[in-house]
């Protein structure tokens, strides 16, 4: 068993790196969407609020695997069939597996990030906005300089959890052939017929990754609260 | 009296300096007419809610001239705080007019009717009005210096070196030079409130509003904050001070305004207000405070 681990562990390295990269890019997209959507939802615009509500309701409801299939198998070929050239050209990058995965996971997780960031912003006392406005700041300047920076500290721990959830979710990308950690495990299993060992090793990798991530989140959280004391 | 850090003279220069993009309506005819009051309220009214509507302010008129400090006193819920917040339009009033330096706050006139003004124009006026809150409302994620730079750097667009200079001068005035790198959470309530005053001063305001700034403080910390306000009064800062500190109002304010149920009931020179109360109601109100030197 140990011999098996020793022989095959290195084969998982590359997949691990891919999984981390896909997670990081997805979260980047997710937080960007989340911040924009949260600000839109809190803004006075009724249209922005309904669009954001619809986005959250839809993408929180759709399973990531379904979304992944729609994005990778569905969208580019649909654009081809429609024969609208600019649309086809626009969606062509989705033929790239990694990009498809990043977009599917990012858009999916963005719905959760929206709620996390929205409630973080809402948790900042209203007096902070008033104090900023009494200095002559506009709503958006106050958001940028005063409210959003303070809410970052509140949003960080739940966003850390979301990061972990997305990391584990990247295993789904194996079904569209992204050679991430889970895909490596499938390849090892197919080559050795040692299914239990092959998949357990992948599991160990995920657990170690998540523990490391949790440590990093805790450390950064500590740093962030230090800045206030 | 300490005149080494003169925020008032600085703000007067600023009012006439070319950096000021707003033509003050009183400029140019200063010689022929008496100077326009810094603050003018004409029949200001504000109602909250609809079921039932509650009148927070009704028909409030008040004039504050340059260099004057006016204390606003009265029982809780009498509209004192709402009055202050209408002045810088944190609360939009719904009737009457508020004029700061002769400029209508929050509304503009269109075909004889008042329509809400744009945010940038409201901010243009807010820049010149410093406000200090009951609960300090410092920015907890920024150091003391950061708090003081926020307005000058990002609103007034003052060069950094100049903004830092201003911040240091303001901290000297409030006596907190040694706390420049502290975070608000590391300061006592009194220190936080003094930083809040300094933050407002860094904008070089022409008018300062104080909203019960000592009400949230431990009794032994009240003095240090009042001392700073007293100092500003001596420097000739124009101020409206909502307070429950009667002795302080008597010593520092030029005039005292008494409010009840959203109305101004009395507006008298400070000495008269305490020595010759205008109504039995004020007499009764004052009797609950021990004001040194007051009979009874």
| Digit-coded pLDDT (tens) for B122-152 | 999 999 999 999 999 999 999 999 999 999 9
* Cβ–Cβ contact A133 with B under 8 A: yes
Distance CA B86, CA A130 (A): 13
The answer to whether A136 and A186 have CB atoms below 8 angstroms apart is: no
CB nearest to B139's CB, from A128, A136, A153: A128
Contact across the interface for A229 and B140, Cβ inside 8 Å: no
Long-range contact set of residues B49-58: C-beta below 8 Å, sequence gap at least 24 = B55/B261, B55/B262, B56/B82, B56/B262, B57/B82, B57/B83, B57/B86, B57/B93, B57/B262, B57/B263, B58/B262, B58/B263
**Chain A CA closest to residue B205:** A135
Distance CA A77, CA A82 (A): 9
Give the contacts of B152 (CB within 8 A, at least 6 positions apart).
B158, B162, B163, B166, B167, B202, B203
The answer to whether A34 and A113 have CB atoms below 8 angstroms apart is: yes
Question: Average of pLDDT values for B194-210?
Answer: 96
Is the pLDDT reported for residue B4 higher than 50? Answer: no
Query: Among B18-22, B75-79, B197-201, B272-276, whose mean pLDDT is lowest?
Result: B18-22
- A118 half-sphere exposure, CB direction, 13 A CA radius: 20
User: What pLDDT is recorded for position B7?
Assistant: 60
Distance CA B153, CA A13 (A): 48
Contacts of A136 in chain B (CB under 8 A): 123-124, 126-127, 151, 155-156, 203
* Cβ–Cβ contact B126 with A under 8 A: yes
- CATH number of the CATH domain containing A178: 1.10.3720.10
Joined tokens for residue B290: 């021990």
Distance CA B81, CA A45 (A): 29
CB nearest to A228's CB, from B88, B141, B199: B141
Helices B160-174 and B144-154 pack at an angle, to 10 degrees, of 130
ipTM above 0.90, yes or no: no
Contact across the interface for B203 and A128, Cβ inside 8 Å: no
Burial of residue A87 (number of CB atoms within 10 Å: 0-12, 13-18, 19+): middle
User: What pLDDT is recorded for position B33?
Assistant: 59
Distance CA A148, CA A215 (A): 25
CB nearest to B186's CB, from A135, A137, A229: A229
Distance CA A170, CA A157 (A): 20
Give the contacts of A218 (CB within 8 A, at least 6 positions apart).
none
- Per DSSP, the three-state class of B103 is strand
Neighbours of B209 (CB within 10 A): 26
Closest CA to B193 of B227, B220, B217, B161: B217
Q: Report the number of distinct structural domains present in chain A.
A: 1
* Cβ–Cβ contact A161 with B under 8 A: no
Give the contacts of A55 (CB within 8 A, at least 6 positions apart).
A37, A110, A111, A114
* Cβ–Cβ contact B186 with A under 8 A: yes
What sign results for the dihedral spanned by CA atoms B72, B76, B82, B85? Answer: positive
User: What pLDDT is recorded for position A81?
Assistant: 85
What parts of chain A have a pLDDT lower than 70? Answer: 1, 226-229
**Chain B CA closest to residue A125:** B137
The answer to whether B264 and B60 have CB atoms below 8 angstroms apart is: yes
Contacts of B138 in chain A (CB under 8 A): 131
Chain mean pLDDT for chain B: 87
* Cβ–Cβ contact B166 with A under 8 A: no
Contacts of A137 in chain B (CB under 8 A): 123, 150-151, 154-155
List pLDDT tens digits, range B25-83: 444 444 455 678 999 999 999 999 888 888 999 999 999 999 999 999 999 889 999 99
Joined tokens for residue B92: 């939009």
Contact across the interface for A138 and B119, Cβ inside 8 Å: yes
Tally C-beta pairs within 8 A across A and B.
70
Q: Which domain holds residue A59?
A: 2-228
The DSSP H or E segment spanning B268 is: strand B263-269
Q: What percent of chain B has pLDDT over 90?
A: 73
User: What pLDDT is recorded for position B114?
Assistant: 86
């Amino acid at each position: 068993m140990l011999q098996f681990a020793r022989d095959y562990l290195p084969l998982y390295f590359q997949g691990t790196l891919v999984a981390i990269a896909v997670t990081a890019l997805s979260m980047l997209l997710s937080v960007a969407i989340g911040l924009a959507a949260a600000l839109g939802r809190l803004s006075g615009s009724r249209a922005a609020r309904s669009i954001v509500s619809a986005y959250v309701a839809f993408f929180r409801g759709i399973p990531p695997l379904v979304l992944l299939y729609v994005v990778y198998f569905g969208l580019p070929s649909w654009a081809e069939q429609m024969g609208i050239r600019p649309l086809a050209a626009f969606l062509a990058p989705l033929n790239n597996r990694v990009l498809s995965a990043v977009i599917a996971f990012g858009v999916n997780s963005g719905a959760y990030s929206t709620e996390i960031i929205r409630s973080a912003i809402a948790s900042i006392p209203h007096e902070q906005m008033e104090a900023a406005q009494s200095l002559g700041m506009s709503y958006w300047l106050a958001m940028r300089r005063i409210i959003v920076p303070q809410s970052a500290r509140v949003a960080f721990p739940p966003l850390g959890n979301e990061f972990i959830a997305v990391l584990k979710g990247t295993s789904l990308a194996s079904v569209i052939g992204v050679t991430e950690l889970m895909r490596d495990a499938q390849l090892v299993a197919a080559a050795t017929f040692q299914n239990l060992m092959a998949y357990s090793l992948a599991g160990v990798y995920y657990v170690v990754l998540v523990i490391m991530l949790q440590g990093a989140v805790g450390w950064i959280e500590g740093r962030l609260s230090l800045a206030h004391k | 009296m300490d005149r080494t850090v003169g925020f008032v003279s600085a703000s007067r220069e600023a009012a006439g300096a070319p950096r000021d993009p707003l033509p003050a309506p009183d400029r140019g005819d200063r010689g022929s007419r008496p100077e326009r009051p810094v603050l003018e309220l004409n029949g200001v009214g504000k109602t909250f809610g609809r079921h039932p509507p509650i009148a927070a302010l009704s028909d409030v008129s008040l004039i504050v001239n340059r260099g004057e400090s006016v204390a606003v006193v009265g029982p809780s819920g009498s509209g004192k705080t709402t009055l202050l917040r209408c002045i810088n339009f944190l609360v939009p009033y719904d009737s009457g007019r508020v004029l700061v330096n002769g400029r209508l706050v929050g509304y503009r006139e269109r075909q004889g009717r008042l329509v809400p003004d744009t945010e940038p124009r409201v901010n243009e006026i807010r820049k010149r009005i410093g406000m200090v809150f009951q609960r300090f409302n410092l920015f907890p994620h920024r150091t003391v210096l950061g708090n003081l730079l926020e307005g000058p750097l990002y609103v007034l667009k003052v060069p950094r070196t100049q903004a830092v200079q201003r911040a240091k001068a303001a901290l000297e005035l409030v006596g907190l030079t040694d706390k420049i790198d502290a975070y608000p959470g590391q300061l006592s309530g009194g220190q936080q409130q003094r930083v809040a005053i300094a933050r407002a001063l860094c904008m070089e305001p022409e008018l300062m509003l104080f909203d019960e700034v000592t009400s949230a403080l431990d009794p032994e910390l009240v003095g240090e904050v009042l001392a700073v306000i007293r100092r500003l009064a001596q420097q000739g800062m124009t101020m409206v001070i909502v307070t429950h500190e009667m002795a302080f109002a008597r010593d520092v304010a030029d005039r005292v305004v008494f409010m009840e149920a959203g109305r101004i009931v009395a507006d008298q020179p400070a000495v008269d207000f305490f020595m010759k109360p205008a109504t039995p109601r004020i007499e009764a109100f004052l009797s609950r405070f021990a004001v040194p030197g007051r009979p009874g």
